[in-house]
Structure formats: C-alpha cells, structure tokens
Amino acid sequence: MWDLCKLFFIYFLLTEILVVSSCVHVKVKQGTLKGIRARRITGNGEYFSFKGIPYAAPPIGPLRFKDPQPPLSWTEVRDARSHGAICPQININTGGNFTGNEDCLFLNVYTPTLTPTTPLPVMFFIHGGFYTVGSGNDDQLGPDFLMDYDVVLVTINFRIGVLGFLSLDIPEASGNVGLKDQVAALVWVKKNIANFGGDPDNVTIFGQSSGASAVTLHLISPLSKGLFKRAIAMSGAFFKDFQSPFVNHTRRAFILTEQLGKCTNDPNEALRYLQQVDVNDLVQAKPFVLYNEQPRRELLEIMYFRPIMEKQMKSGNFLSEPPMKLLMDRELNVDDLIFGHTEEEGLYRAVTQKEYLFKYHPYDEFMVPVAIANSRSTSEVLNIGTDIRQHYFSECKLKEDNKTMEELINFYTDFTYLHHFYRYLKMSTDAGLRVYFYIFTGYTERNVYGEIGTKYGLQTATHTDDLPYLFSGSAYPSVQKGTSSYHIIKQSCKLFTNFAKYGNPYPFDDTFWEPYDKKENNYLTIDAELIPQSLNDSEYQYLQGAKFWRKIYENAGFVY
C-alpha cells in the first residue's frame, strides 16, 4: 500500500518541515522523521506527535553499562508514529514479569505547532519509578493537557536498575549512566528542538519521584550545565536516594557477578562477563549482601542500584562530589525551582505494604535509617528504633483499623518523603535558589493512587496523584470539561507552563505565590482553588516530622 505521507507534501526549506495530509515530516541531525497530527482530547485543537526518536546509540553488547554514545543516522524516512521499546524492567503491573529491550534510548516530542511566530518554551519530563521501572510513554505521560498552553513537551526513556546504575569504578562502567542518558537527551534537545518549534535556550526540566530526585541532581551536575534554564521537582529530592547503601557499590556488582556465575574481584573481568549475560537474568537478579537487607528493602524503599558519587575519571563524570556539598557550595545550574509534594505522600505505600510493617513491627531496628544502623552499635540501634516506634505507634501490636492506618501513613509520609523534602527545601533556599513551594491536595476520580485510601475513610492526594493533572493517558479515567478534575488540570498546567515561560508560576500577581521564605514557611495549596498558606509550627505534621527526624539524625552524630 502506498504511504499517503509520500504522495502529497509541502516542503519548507528554511524550517526543514514537511507537512503531509495527516502525517508530518521533520528533519533532525540524524535524518528525517515521520510523525502524525493528532487531535487533543480536550477538544482544543491539534498537536504534532513524534515518538520513538533515538537520542543515543543502542547501549547493547560492548556498550552495556557504558556512557551513552552519539545517536546513529539513517537515510530513509524514520517512522516516528509509535513509541520505541521501553528499557528492561520488571513489570510490577503483570505479576513481576520481565519486559523491555536494551535498545531503548528513545524520546518523544509533542508540539502544538511546528511554525510558531516565536519559539516555544520546552518542558522536558523525567519519569519516576525508584530508578527501577517506568518509561516516557503516553499511557501515563500523554501531552494533551499541556498542549493547550503553547509549550513543547519532551518525554524520555533512560536506562534504569542494574543497566542504568551498576558501577565497577572503571571508565567502561563508571555508574550513573541512567543520569548520563538524561544528559544525552538534553543535548539532543539542544541540537534539534528548534525544528519542532521549540526554543533550545528555554528548556525547563521537570520530574516526579525519582525523576524529581534526578532533577535536583541535574541542578548541581557539571555535565548538565547550560542544557536547561529552570526546574520543577515533584515529590522527590536527592537526599531521599542518597541514603547510605548496605555495602560499597562495587561490592554489590561483584556479588551480582558471582550470583550470575562468575566469581571474580577484577572489575574488567566482571564487566566482560556481565556484558554477555542474558538481560532477563541480569534484571531479575537480586544481589542481596547482608542478612537483614530484605526487611529494610521492603520497609524503607532501598534500591539495589542507584545514583552514586563516581570515582574520579578523566572526564564525563555526572557526580564526583557529595551532592550536599555541591548544593552548599552553591554550584547551581539554575536560579529558579518549583518544588513540592502531595498531601499524604505515604498513603499508597502504607496501604499496599502494610503487611511488611506488621511482619517486622516487633523488631524495632528495621525502622532505623540504614546510614544510622550501619554506624551504630546494636544496642544503640535498638534504642533508636524504639524511639521511632513509640513516636508513631500508640500500640505495641498493630491492628487492621483506621487508627493504625493513620499512624502507618504518618510514619511512611514523614520518614520516606517529607523529612527529606523539608531538608532539601531549607538547604536549597540557603544555597540561593528561588524556590516556589507547593502542596498538592486535589482529590477527584483522577486520584488513581489515593483512591486506595477510601477503604479507611480517606480522600486525599498521595504519591504520584499529581501526575494525572498534568498528563493525559490510558492509565487514567477520562475527563470532562466543567468538572472539578478538569479545573484542577487547568490550574496545575497553567502554573507549571507559566513558570516555563516566565520563570514565575503566577506572573499576574507577584505577591500571590511568593518564593519560599524560611521565616514565613509559605507555600501554595494546589487544588480546585489556589490558596497561599503558611506552615503552622504547632499544628502541621510537616514541621513536627522534620523536627523529629532531625533529632534522630543529629543524636546519631549526623549533620542534618
């Protein structure tokens, strides 16, 4: 069958754009792409979609674990009407089955127009998923809502899990390649986004959960300098992911190598072996090192492979110094940041993983942060664990009731999320960042994660519940104009796109949402109404939890 896209076209030499019936061709550095013109689900017009664009060479064979390499070119028109493969991972939605392909370094570009009067701001999204799962696909990261606000949206895949974060402290496997993939995607955007109507000098990076953690690392990485102008971090900061691991990262890599059939302490030999192991076996391996690791993993969200400080190499390090030091030294790549979280971050985790806390609740030591547990005697760890349990739980034995669930939510919200966020909020403002702080409280049928709390009489926003108000997708309920959910969508998208355009999320009134001030503890509630508020030291859980965990860390000898 003839491709209608090849039969009728108009070629615009200056913009390198080919508009054809319902298909569109755009020329990038590697070759020509064929995308589509799509109708927005909001009914507010159309947008142009280009999916599955390779931004780096396939990281396969001898390139496994290596820094991303420049993308390959093509001669024929490349079909960009569907997504590329997602990166290898365990699909938590299908019972833990393996899915993905190592040839996965693709990005997606969505734009409301290819020929704007002036170049459009670019919003570059980094997905979450504990650096272990996720993709940039439009089942959860659809562009429809943001297209109504005249921005170009870019979503990406990057290497995750062992493939993205294993390190042997050698140049061929230095670690952090998942973060370096993100840098490679930003470089691609810098070189090519003008051909999609975007402004390469006005890029805002934003991410959620571990994607937000990555955003806060890009703010201080020398590799990311000059690649973006502003940043938005939703429910994530690097403090959360830089909890001390159980063992040195190279030791875990050697344990993994041994589990998969090769006993060696030579990093080059381990690399050669791991590069030829079947990717399914590699991703599904569980390289436990200590007997008490699994309980802590189940309770406290600790990853096998995660961002690290890299050993000093000749060049190309994403992170060679402690991120806290870089932040305190004001080694920052931007001036402006939106930072915030949902109302009850820990709700979803408390409900879905409550059996683990019920199981390990008699053993107080498992509630102690890894960094503290690894640096203190057994008796000290037990005493700290008892303090934590008594602070959050009124009964020695947990019960399946609303009171216990409220206590579980407070524990997971404070420990897993809020105290890290508050620490980052304080330190980032001290470092000179202008931070617009928010708390998302919206609740409608689109709260696909918070809905789990209705069993306990709760209707609130939990971790990830803010995403469906920025993105469309088949993973979310449909939305109708005139509803509360659509109103919150418009509120959220307007704030974030204003920030991308002007550096101010509410440019109509500079006093409405002011940058965070430590004395005022001011923030904006994002809901059907936007409400400027201030944290109340005597009432608000945020400050109470932050004070408690600060005391825990400082009493254990840590700088907080």
- With beta carbons less than 8 A apart as the criterion, state whether 447 and 468 touch: yes
Tokens of 247: 């063992």
3-state secondary structure of 33: strand
How far is the C-alpha of 149 from the C-alpha of 526, rounded, in Å?
18
How far is the C-alpha of 181 from the C-alpha of 66, rounded, in Å?
10
3-state secondary structure of 217: helix
At residue 20, the pLDDT reads 40
- With beta carbons less than 8 A apart as the criterion, state whether 404 and 398 touch: yes
HEC letters along 77-121: CEECCCCCCCCCEEEHHHCCEEECCCCCCEEEEEECCCCCCCCEE
pLDDT tens track of the chain, all 560 residues?
A: 335 454 433 333 334 444 444 899 999 999 999 999 999 999 999 999 999 999 999 999 999 999 999 999 999 999 999 999 999 999 876 667 899 999 999 999 999 999 999 999 999 999 999 999 999 999 999 999 999 999 999 999 999 999 999 999 999 999 999 999 999 999 999 999 999 999 999 999 999 999 999 999 999 999 999 999 999 999 999 986 665 555 678 999 999 999 999 999 999 999 999 999 999 999 999 887 665 666 666 666 667 899 999 987 766 899 989 898 999 998 899 999 999 999 999 999 999 888 877 777 777 888 888 888 888 899 999 999 999 999 999 877 777 788 888 999 999 999 889 989 999 999 999 999 999 999 999 999 999 999 999 999 999 999 999 999 999 999 999 999 999 999 999 999 999 999 999 999 998 887 899 999 998 899 999 999 999 998 765 456 667 888 899 999 999 888 77
Tokens of 535: 């944290």
197: left (phi over 0), alpha (psi -120 to 50) or beta: left
Angle at 137 between CA 418 and CA 224, to 5 degrees: 60
How far is the C-alpha of 471 from the C-alpha of 229, rounded, in Å?
22
- Closest Cα to residue 435, out of 519, 528, 334, 534? 334
Q: Which residues pair with 523 in a beta bridge?
A: 533
How far is the C-alpha of 560 from the C-alpha of 543, rounded, in Å?
14
- Closest Cα to residue 229, out of 190, 201, 194? 201
35: Cβ–Cβ under 8 A, 6 or more apart, which residues? Answer: 23, 24, 25, 26, 48, 49, 50, 51, 80, 81, 109
pTM: 0.94
3-state secondary structure of 259: helix
How far is the C-alpha of 342 from the C-alpha of 436, rounded, in Å?
15
3-state secondary structure of 206: strand
HEC letters along 369-395: CHHHHCCCCHHHHHHHHHHHHHHHCCC
Residue 45 burial class via C-beta count within 10 angstroms: exposed 0-12, middle 13-18, buried 19 and up = exposed
At residue 16, the pLDDT reads 43
**Token pair 């272990």: residue:** 132
At residue 129, the pLDDT reads 94
